Amino acid sequence: MTAENRIAENQGNTNKINAKTSLYAIIGSPVEHSLSPLAQNAGFAAKKLNSVFLAFETEEAGRAINAMKALSISGYSVTMPLKEKVIPFLDSLDSVAEQVGAVNCIVNSDGLLSGHNTDVGGAMRALKNATPVSGKKALLLGSGGAARAIAFGLKQESARIIVSNRTNEKAKYFAKELGAKQVNWAERLFTEYDILVNATSVGMGQDSANTPFPAESLSRSKVVFDAVHTPMHTRLLAEAKEKACITVSGVEMFLGQAFEMFEIFTGLQAPEEEMRQAVLKERFSE
Give catalytic residues, as residue numbers. Answer: 83
Taken as a whole, the chain contains a residue count of 286
pLDDT in tens, the chain (286 residues): 444 444 444 444 445 889 999 999 999 998 988 899 999 999 999 999 999 999 999 999 999 999 999 999 999 999 989 999 999 999 999 999 999 999 999 999 999 999 999 999 999 999 999 999 999 999 999 998 889 999 999 999 999 999 999 999 999 999 999 999 999 999 999 999 999 999 999 998 889 999 999 999 999 999 999 999 888 899 999 999 999 999 999 999 999 999 999 999 999 999 999 999 999 998 766 5
Whether residue 277 sits in one domain with residue 227? no
Whether residue 49 sits in one domain with residue 14? yes
- Give which of 2, 105, 9, 109 is closest to 49, Cα–Cα: 9
Whether residue 131 sits in one domain with residue 88? no
Question: How much of the chain is in helix, strand and coil states, percent to nearest 5?
Answer: 40, 20, 40
Question: Residue 170's domain spans which residues?
Answer: 121-248
Whether residue 242 sits in one domain with residue 126? yes
Whether residue 226 sits in one domain with residue 266? no
Whether residue 17 sits in one domain with residue 46? yes
Whether residue 133 sits in one domain with residue 46? no
Q: How many domains does the chain have?
A: 2
Whether residue 89 sits in one domain with residue 136? no
Q: Residue 183 maps to which CATH number?
A: 3.40.50.720
- Give which of 129, 121, 102, 128 is closest to 260, Cα–Cα: 121
Beta-bridge partners for 223: 195, 246
Q: How are strands ordered across the β-sheet holding 51-57?
A: 51-57, 22-28, 75-78, 105-109, 112-116, 92-93
d(CA 219, CA 181): 19
d(CA 120, CA 101): 12
Whether residue 238 sits in one domain with residue 144? yes
Whether residue 145 sits in one domain with residue 101? no
Q: Residue 76 maps to which CATH number?
A: 3.40.50.10860
Look at strands 112-116 and 160-164 and give their pairing: unpaired
If you ran DSSP here, which 8-state letter would residue 70 be given? H
Tell me, what's the pLDDT at 145? Answer: 80
pTM for the full model? 0.87
Whether residue 239 sits in one domain with residue 133? yes
Tell me, what's the pLDDT at 4? Answer: 47
Show the DSSP H helices in 17-114 as ranges.
36-46, 61-70, 95-100
Whether residue 110 sits in one domain with residue 218? no
145, 84 Cβ separation under 8 angstroms: yes
Look at strands 75-78 and 105-109 and give their pairing: antiparallel
